[in-house]
Amino acid sequence: MKISLLQTDIVWSDPKANCDHIDSLVASMPQSDVYVLPEMFSTGFATNPEGVAERDEFTLSWMKSFASKHDAAICGSVAVQTDDGYRNRFYFVEPDGKVTFYDKRHLFSYGGEHKRYTRGEKRVVVEFRGVRILLQVCYDLRFPVFSRNHKDYDAIFYVANWPVARLEVWKTLLHARALENQCYVVGVNRCGTDPACEYSGGTMLIDAYGRNVAECAYGKEDSLTADLDLEKLASFRAKFPVLDDAD
C-alpha cells in the first residue's frame, strides 16, 4: 500500500481554506492509496468548539469528493457537533463513499478538551485494500493498553496537534508503539501556530523494527509518500513472534 502523509499548517476555523489548500498540495504529489491528514485538519485544535465544530458536514462532504476523485482513501480528524455533544471524530473515507469513524477516547484534559467534548468508547480498526488500520488521535498515543495489538491490525494511524514543547515525547512514543505492537506506525502532526500553541511537525512512518521509513522536515509544511510492505511485516512477525507472548 502506498500512503501519503501531509504535514500541514492550518488556517484557524476556516474549513474551506484548509480543504482548498490540501487540494493544491495533493495536486503535485504522487498518487497514493491513502492520504493522512492531521487532527482537526480543517479548523485547528479547538478546545472551545462553539462556532468552530461542524454540524453541516462540509469537511466530510469534501473528503468524500476527494476520495472519489483520487480513487483513494482520505483520513483525519474533524471537530463535529452531534446530537449527543461535540466529538473529535477521526474519519476514514473510502473512494466508494464508505465512511468509518473513531471518536477520540482519551480527551486532552491538560488542555481542557474533556470539558466540552464527549469521549469515544469504541476501539476502531478499518481494513482497506488488504491493510488493517487502527485509528487513533493525538493524546491516545500516551495510553498503550488501549492500542494493544491483538493480532487484529497491521498499522496504527496517529493524527495529531502535538506541540513543539513535547516533540521528543511524540517521537519516543511513536517508536515505542511500533516496537511493542510489531506494526507500522504512521504519525501525522501539524506545523504552524494556533491561538494556544506552536507546532513543528514530526510527521513520520515507522516500521515494526522501530526504524524511520520516511519523515517530514521539521518546522514547515511538508509531505511524504511511502509504502507499507505487508509481506515484509508478515515475515518479521513469523520469524520473531512477539505478539504470541503478549499479556
Catalytic residues: 39, 104, 138
Q: Decide: residue 27, CB within 10 A, 0-12 exposed, 13-18 middle, 19+ buried.
A: exposed
Handedness of CA 205, 211, 213, 215 (dihedral sign): positive
CA nearest 79: which of 166, 137, 133? 137
User: Could you give the CA distance from residue 61 to residue 106 in angstroms, rounded to a whole number?
Assistant: 26
